[in-house]
Amino acid sequence: MGVIRNPCEWLVSKWAYLAGQSTRLGHPSAEPDMPSVHTESPLKDSPEDIQKFRQFVRDVHGDSPLGWQSYWLAAGYLQDNRTDYILTDARALHLGRLAKMEPADYAPEDMAIVKEELELFDPDVVNCWVRTEDVEGDMKACLTRFEQDTGKAVNWTLFDERIASSNHNPSDHAACNVYYDKETEDYLRHLEGFIFDRFQYQSCCGQAADGKN
């Protein structure tokens, strides 16, 4: 089972979380050279904060040919789900380190590693994907498929209890589409083209075209 999110929404959430947590966590984005994470309005939806988000999209990517979420995808799944060969321990560890960095800080050889791996990655090697746009529905669908494929029973009572008591990382922000003008959307679509294409996300903020798992 894997987890995927619309790239536009992923980056808004990442920015909002860093804006709320960076000074406490000492994240590199809290440094003075990246003022785009220092927001002012409670929901980060003032005209000034919206412009800061758009600048943040540029700040974190620099000259990278791929989007930040693509690097996270590489670190999280490529090392475990390649069908033709298993990544060496060194390369898998390297991908894990890259996920904790911002693409603007990657060396050209780092970018080449991830691009090479993504070009060979088939999402179908993951049995079932949970899209964050419908976590509960997709998890139910994946677990139902698990029951059908394995003949093993899922503890649905426990599932319902865990869903009811679940929480998520705080990242207060306005609706995703508030932050994107055409220029910013086009820029991110270019960087995250792999995810938009392979996971069939047609809109910048929203579900995939088929909603399939």
Mean pLDDT across the chain, nearest whole number? Answer: 80
Q: 35 pLDDT band (50/70/90 cuts)?
A: confident
Confidence at residue 95, expressed as pLDDT on a 0 to 100 scale:
54
Q: Which of 29-33, 34-38, 84-88, 114-118 has the lowest mean pLDDT?
A: 84-88
Q: Which residue has the higher pLDDT, 19 or 101?
A: 19
Confidence at residue 138, expressed as pLDDT on a 0 to 100 scale:
93
Q: 83 pLDDT band (50/70/90 cuts)?
A: very low
Can you give the chain as a three-state secondary structure string?
A: CEEECCHHHHHHHHHHHHHHHHHHHCCHHHCCCCHHHCCCCCCCCCHHHHHHHHHHHHHHHCCCCCCHHHHHHHHHHHHHHCCCCCCCHHHHHHHHHHHCCCHHHCCHHHHHHHHHHHHHCCHHHCCCEEEHHHHHHHHHHHHHHHHHHHCCCCCHHHHHHHHHHCCCCCCCCCCHHHCCCHHHHHHHHHHCHHHHHHCCCCCCCCCCCCCCC
**Which neighbouring-strand residues pair with 24?**
none
Name which of 146, 119, 142 is nearest 3 in CA terms: 142
